[in-house]
Amino acid sequence: MGTNKLIAILPGDGIGTEVLAQATRVLDFYRTKRNLPLDLWHLDLGADRYLKDGTTYPEEVRKRISTEASAVLLGALGDPRVPGLEHARDILFGLRFGLDLYANVRPVKALADRLVPLKDRTAEDVDMVVFRENTEGIYVGMGGQFKRGTRDEVAINEDVNTRKGVERLIRAGFEHAKAHGKKRVHMADKSNAMRHAHELWYRVFFEVAKEYPGIEAKHVYVDAMCLYMIQDPSQFEVVVTCNLFGDIVTDLGAALQGGLGMASSANVHPKVPRCCDDGHGDERVAMFEPVHGSAPPLAGKDLANPLASVLTVGMMLAHLGWPDEEKRLEALVARAVAEKKCTRDVGGEFGTRAVGDWVVGELAHAF
């Protein structure tokens, strides 16, 4: 059916394949039992394929994703047999950069008190969302090595920050705050050390903030932010930051929500005022992935927590126009944790597949 939404599914490597198998069952439930108009397109890209025939991210796949798909669901990429991570970079950055998905939206929300490892803190204290810039910064791959392997060698990675890139990400954070009734936006940088790049972030942040008078704009140095996230995470509601710092603080954030097995994310291109007037706007294909990687030591053991991927499916369904399903899946995940129908990392004794069985079984009664 031409009106169905096409979802490209890329399980990738290691536990990525195991958690996406369960996430795919959830999607399949919605497709077959709830009649959501979805078509699933299963792709085998990852380390196995790369080692077999050298394929990383083929042009015909790139083209079909960008012209026909509504969303991409990605597991994780990374395999010890590919130490240079060539395939992972081509696929992951091919999607993030290639689709210009400039905002990596990473909720840091604890779904049960016992998941919060901080003394005298509860789940109420951990509820923020990080807007990570996703298309520039240190990730652009500019730079090089000189005199490699000699005593004089030089290694450079350039940190690229553009007015457009910084401004649209900051605006996306403020727009999110406005739409969700949040009172405060933090911008985390290192403008004290990175005098050029982060002076731009600092200046643009307070310029944009003037257009959102009801929302408090607070600057925080990212090192101090790491301290405050542990001392009192409740002060953070929306955080905007650069690509690298967003990567790092969301792993720290994951620790506050029960570990990487609970952290979901969306890579999107929100249409924001005064930016993004490029004619694509909200129509652009978005990509959804758990925050975690391929966890090679866990792979193949049925130990990986699939709940981050279930939450990620929720973010995807909300993006596609079914926000109630995100709420339903989040409530179900919270119950999986509360009732210990979960894996060991979050205090249960279930295997990956058994958690999927439980989630799909409960979904069948949830309507």
Residues annotated catalytic, as ranges: 139, 190, 223, 247, 251
Q: Provide the token pair at 74.
A: 């990605």
By CB under 6 A, tell whether 19 contacts ligand NAD.
yes
Of 169-177, 197-205, 211-219, 300-308: span binding ligand NAD (CB under 6 A): 300-308
Residue closer to Mn ion, measured from CB, 189 or 247: 247
- Provide the strand spans (E) within the chain: 5-12, 38-42, 69-76, 103-109, 127-133, 143-146, 154-157, 184-189, 216-221, 238-241, 264-268, 286-290
Residue list 247-266, contact with ligand IPM (CB under 6 A): 247
d(CA 348, CA 333): 13
Size of the site for ligand NAD (CB under 6 A): 21
> Is 336 a residue that touches ligand NAD (CB under 6 A)?
no
The residue within the footprint of ligand NAD, chosen from 11, 293, 348, 356 (CB under 6 A), is 293
Q: Which does 229 bind (CB under 5 to 8 A by kind): ligand NAD, Mn ion, ligand IPM, none?
A: none
- Interaction between residue 308 and ligand NAD (CB under 6 A): yes
Does residue 289 touch Mn ion according to CB under 5 A? Answer: no
The whole-angstrom distance between residue 336's C-alpha and the CA centroid of its chain comes to 21
Rounded CA separation 206/316 (Å): 31
The mark string for 6-35 relative to ligand IPM (x by CB under 6 A, - otherwise) is ------------------------------
Residue 161 CA: distances (Å) to CA of 134, 166, 168, 345, 362: 11, 7, 12, 37, 46
Token look-up 């169905």 returns 4
The strand pair at 286-290 and 69-76 is best described as parallel
Is the separation of the CB atoms in 155 and 124 below 8 Å? Answer: no
Footprint on residues 142-181 left by ligand NAD (CB under 6 A): none
Distances (CA, A) of 146 to 83, 85, 118, 151, 284: 21, 21, 45, 11, 39
**Nearer Cβ to ligand NAD (46/173):** 46
Residues that bind ligand NAD (CB under 6 A): 15, 19, 76-78, 85, 92, 259-261, 289, 292-296, 298, 304-305, 308, 345
Residues that bind ligand IPM (CB under 6 A): 88, 247, 291, 293
